[in-house]
Amino acid sequence: MRNIAMNGFNKNEIQRIGILRALYLGDMLCIIPAVRALRKAFPHARITLVGLPWERNFVKRFSIYFDDFIEFPGWPGLPEQEVIPDKLLEFIAAMQYEHFDLFLQMQGNGTETNAMSILFGARYTAGLREPGEQVFNPVYFPESGDDEHEILRFLKLTDALEIPRQGTALEFPILPEEQRNFEMIQQSLNLLSHNYICIHPGARNVLRRWPAANFAAIANNLIAREYTIVLTGSEDERDLLREVASQIQQPVINIVDTCGQIGIGELAQIITHSTLLVSNDTGVSHVAAALQVPSVIIFSTYSDPNRWSPLNTNLHKVIPPELANDVAFVWKHVEQQLLYKATSFMPGVAPDNLPGVSHQ
């Protein structure tokens, strides 16, 4: 690899890298292929994630890629959190003090955040921009529409910096304490690996939720096949899970009722040891993709499959919004996934197309 890329980007100068991505779990997992490429290209650089408070735990989970975390105070025009005006100038000053060699705006198309990122004063600043948007250095700001796949659009950003790709696969490391907690949950609930189906009827955006009766209909068909049903979700979705359970003909395992609020790592392990995940387009669908667990993902009109669906179309079946009301169509795809016999993967094992990356 050349030290100085054709676009003038000097790789020898890169010791401190900052990344802005102040979003939620599924969104965060989608940038991991781009971050993996960065880590491979700059193995000794210090990489700092700038994001929402919960992302401190994300940095801990992905410690092979991230070294530091800076809490983002919000910014006008971004809906994910309330802006704290008194902290904005302090935040910008602190970011300038970091003296980043490279700062990557990975929040989105940069309408609100490209100009902000330039204020941080990094040696190089790069990010996505809307098609046709004028910027000072278009090479470092490739165009990307919101209809492009979320994983691939951020690889366009590393491509612009001539950083070689390291695959498109997602990852989800499990921490040791999460593994121990899962083993206790598995024992207490008598969960036999790959003998149960996870149904996840919730979603952060309630508009993306498939009707509870539809999930119950799928569950009843699965029970007729002698599968155990595990309903997964968060404490905030307790009533929804109970609504689904009330329409299922036999008792099911409601994770929230039996275990309360469990961590995302423990939930990921429950999904890992299942036969199949059936869910809305939400964070757990990306977890299943990362852990290579077969899934059926149901999209609503409030989410774009072209942008958010898993890239592996054999392992994961996507139900487009226009067909989501057809429960028989969804069931057909559930049946197909139950028959899916993979020869090139093992659930829960890191994919082997991540060159140069350790999964210790």
* Residue 262 tokens, joined: 């469990």
Report, at the CATH architecture level, how domain 176-339 is classified. 3-Layer(aba) Sandwich (3.40)
172 pLDDT band (50/70/90 cuts)?
Answer: very high
Work out the burial of residue 190: count CB atoms within 10 Å of its CB; fewer than 13 is exposed, 13-18 middle, 19 or more buried: exposed
Q: Report the predicted TM-score, pTM, of the whole model to 2 decimal places.
A: 0.91
8 pLDDT band (50/70/90 cuts)?
Answer: low
Report, at the CATH architecture level, how domain 11-160 is classified. 3-Layer(aba) Sandwich (3.40)
Q: Which pLDDT value is given to residue 241?
A: 98
Is it the case that residue 145 has pLDDT exceeding 60? yes
**What mean pLDDT value characterizes the chain?**
91
* Residue 279 tokens, joined: 């869910």
pLDDT digits (tens, 9 = 90+) for 320-343: 999 999 999 999 999 999 987 444
Ordered by start, the domain boundaries in the chain are 11-160, 176-339
pLDDT digits (tens, 9 = 90+) for 49-106: 999 999 999 999 999 999 999 999 999 888 888 888 888 999 999 999 999 999 999 9
Q: Do domains 11-160 and 176-339 have the same CATH topology?
A: yes
